[in-house]
Amino acid sequence: MKFYNMKTNSLNRFLLILILVTVVFFYLMSVNCGKDPVSDGNKDTIYELSLVGISDTFFGIKDISISGDYAYLGGILTPSGPVKDFQVLDISDPTKPIQTGVVSTYRVNGIDISGNFAYLANDYTDLKIIDISDPNNPILTGSCYTFGRSNDVFISDTLAYVTNIEQGLQIINIADSSNPVYISSFDSLNVAWEVFVSDDYAYVTDMNKLLILDITDIYNIKYVSSYISRNAASIYVLDDYAYLVDYCDGLKILNICDPVNPLLIGSYDIENAFGITVYGDYAYVNYQDGYPLNSGGFQVIDISNPLEPEFVLSHESPHATRKIVATDKYIYVSDYDVFIIFELITRLE
């Protein structure tokens, strides 16, 4: 006859249950490790724009560049008095942008900043260079004739890449800011609007196409390929993607791993899209319903998945929105006659 120790069996069962509970607990902890407990997948992210600051000291803003605590604005005219088409604003306190300096250059279409200099694509057939080392006293230091109206400028090292109505893309040596020197050009045959330089290539919006040009030899710019688009207006390049804005078709995302064969992989329809900037996982696309004073605004598009860009939010304006610059904290917008600073706020519903 066998005898069973009931107390021992009960203890064994208890220990077994304790071990199983412990194993399950640590498994669940390992699965959820690093996850935000409030981000359970059932909540939606809400995006909001918060107005931070505004300046109405300018009229006809066409481009913006941000560097440090300063915003650089270029445009076409002022309501009265002398033409002040290049302005410097102190934005160290974003709630109160303050004008610190102005220069009269006659109609600025595009701006890029590098070091202590601002480079202006000027409507009056030249590239102008402004010394901005003293924001309270910007000074014109040099210029280079561009044989026609300049629309945009992109600075890379000691070279300026300038788009031009008559000459297409031009390359200018800016090593000596007081004496910039023309190097070469590529005739795009249409109207070259914007240019973006990445590695050995220049990407140029040229009315009905995006041009990709090999600039390895700056004295001999070579055609690589083109992507046909009904009304190519603006371009931004990041990593292996070109974000093209078409006035008729909105946002187009191209895979440019092979510059010879750019491939459309994603798109998002935005009427009258006019410009684009990209920061992080978002594309900021501005639009205008007419020129120059009709309504406009901008849309924020999530491009974290370039195959399926998604709408985030939009902002409408009674004026034409010409340019946007985004940073990790703020969104800077030229709303034709005002300069506006927004903050993009996200929260869970």
User: Which CATH number belongs to the domain containing residue 226 in this structure?
Assistant: 2.130.10.10
**pLDDT tier for residue 27 given thresholds of 50, 70 and 90:** very low
154 HSE (CA, 13 A, CB side): 21
Considering the domain boundaries, does residue 291 fall inside one? no
SS3 120: strand
**Distance from C-alpha of 118 to C-alpha of 130, rounded to nearest angstrom:** 5
Considering the domain boundaries, does residue 253 fall inside one? yes
Domain count, the chain: 1
Considering the domain boundaries, does residue 41 fall inside one? no
pTM: 0.84
Could you tell me which residues come within 8 angstroms of residue 133 by beta carbon, excluding any fewer than 6 positions away? 116
Considering the domain boundaries, does residue 45 fall inside one? no
Considering the domain boundaries, does residue 1 fall inside one? no
pLDDT of 218 above 90: yes
CA angle 292, 295, 299 (to 5 degrees): 115
Q: Which residues pair with 152 in a beta bridge?
A: 163
Q: What does the longest C-alpha to C-alpha distance in the chain come to?
A: 116
pLDDT digits (tens, 9 = 90+) for 69-84: 999 999 876 555 556 6
pLDDT of 59 above 80: no
Considering the domain boundaries, does residue 349 fall inside one? no
Phi-psi bin for 95: left (phi > 0), alpha (psi -120 to 50), beta? alpha
Considering the domain boundaries, does residue 308 fall inside one? no
pLDDT digits (tens, 9 = 90+) for 93-143: 999 999 999 998 878 999 999 999 999 998 877 999 999 999 999 999 999
Show the domain range for 87: 58-273
Range with lowest mean pLDDT among 28-32, 254-258, 312-316: 28-32
Q: Which residues pair with 45 in a beta bridge?
A: 348
Considering the domain boundaries, does residue 112 fall inside one? yes
From the list 239, 247, 241, the residue with the least C-alpha distance to 266 is: 241
Q: What share of the chain is helix, strand, coil (3-state, %, to 5)?
A: 10, 55, 40
